[in-house]
Structure 1
Amino acid sequence: MTPDKFRAQIAALTAQIAGRPLAADLDAWLNREHGAASASYAALKASCEAGVAEGWLCNREGGGIKYGRIFKPAEDLHGFSVDVVDMTDIAGPHHVHPNGEIDLVMPIEGEAQFDGRSAGWVVMPPGSAHRPTVSRGRALVLYLLPQGAIEFTR
């Protein structure tokens, strides 16, 4: 796996979701079409695991969380930025999603959950906010942010 191959993989996915409202319907569609039992989920998880192992994903660390924005918003990514975090039984910093957020939860150790959700997709609507929390183990979480918009709160 390389960052360029990973980008192409993400671009193929964002092409399918571009222009769709970030709402419960998209959450259900992603989990039906690209959920934890699908080949596309397995491929994305394998790519993320390889990127972490090779050091080009999650190459920063702060507050016990490994993280990194691998791609800024771009036309080929349909306006989404791409971040991946590596978290083990920890809550991250509170933030707001001005344009929403799409998360892919990939448990690595234990029965890890992200904000109480198991392996699969979580779609948060525009204006939503949270303190991202991984419990019950270790997970990688891929974040797609429309226009890369995120606002950390104090």
Structure 2
Amino acid sequence: MDAQAFQKLIARLTEEIAGIPLGAALEAHLNAEHGPGSPIYEAIFDACVTGTSEGWMCNREGGGIRYGRVLKASDATHGFSVDVVDMQDIAGPHHSHPNGEIDLIMPLTSEAVFDDRPAGWCVYEAGSAHSPTVSRGRAFVLYLLPQGAIHFSAAA
């Protein structure tokens, strides 16, 4: 797996979901069709492990979080950007999602959760906000952002 193969993998998924409103119905669909154990989930998880170990994914670090924008929003990804973070028992910077956010939670330790959610998909609607938090262990989280839109809150 390399960045180009990863883009093709992600494009298979984003083609399927492009234009679908971000909300509970999309989350249910993603978990039913592409949840833990499914071919897409496992391929993305394997790509994150490989990409991180090879240094083309999660190649930055700040505040105890490894992260990186793997793919910019483009026609190839149907307007979604892709970020991946590697977090362990930490809260990330507060931010909002002008167009929503689709998260794939991939625990690296069995009990790890992201925003109190176990392995699988979590969809935040447009205008939502949070301080992304991994607790009870370590996890990769992949973020799909429509048009790459994210707004980080000012530090207090």
Tell me, what secondary structure is at the counterpart of 1:143?
strand
CA distance in 2, matches of 1:43, 1:81: 18
CA distance in 1, matches of 2:84, 2:71: 10
Letter in structure 2 aligned against 1:146 = P
- Any stretches of 5+ residues in structure 1 without a counterpart? none
Q: CA deviation digits over 1:22-48, x for unaligned, max 9?
A: 000000000000001212111110011
CA distance in 2, matches of 1:69, 1:57: 8
Letter in structure 2 aligned against 1:111 = E
Tell me, what secondary structure is at the counterpart of 2:111?
strand
CA distance in 1, matches of 2:27, 2:135: 21
Tell me, what secondary structure is at the counterpart of 1:118?
coil
CA distance in 2, matches of 1:40, 1:13: 8
Letter in structure 2 aligned against 1:139 = A
Q: CA deviation digits over 1:65-113, x for unaligned, max 9?
A: 0000011100010000000000000000000000000000000024110
How far the C-alpha of 1:62 sits from its partner, in A, is 0.2
CA distance in 1, matches of 2:20, 2:7: 20
- Any stretches of 5+ residues in structure 2 without a counterpart? none
What is the TM-score normalised by the length of structure 2? 0.97
Matches within 5 A, 1:1-154: 1-154=1-154
**% same residue:** 64
CA distance in 1, matches of 2:37, 2:5: 22
Tell me, what secondary structure is at the counterpart of 1:122?
strand
What is the TM-score normalised by the length of structure 1? 0.99
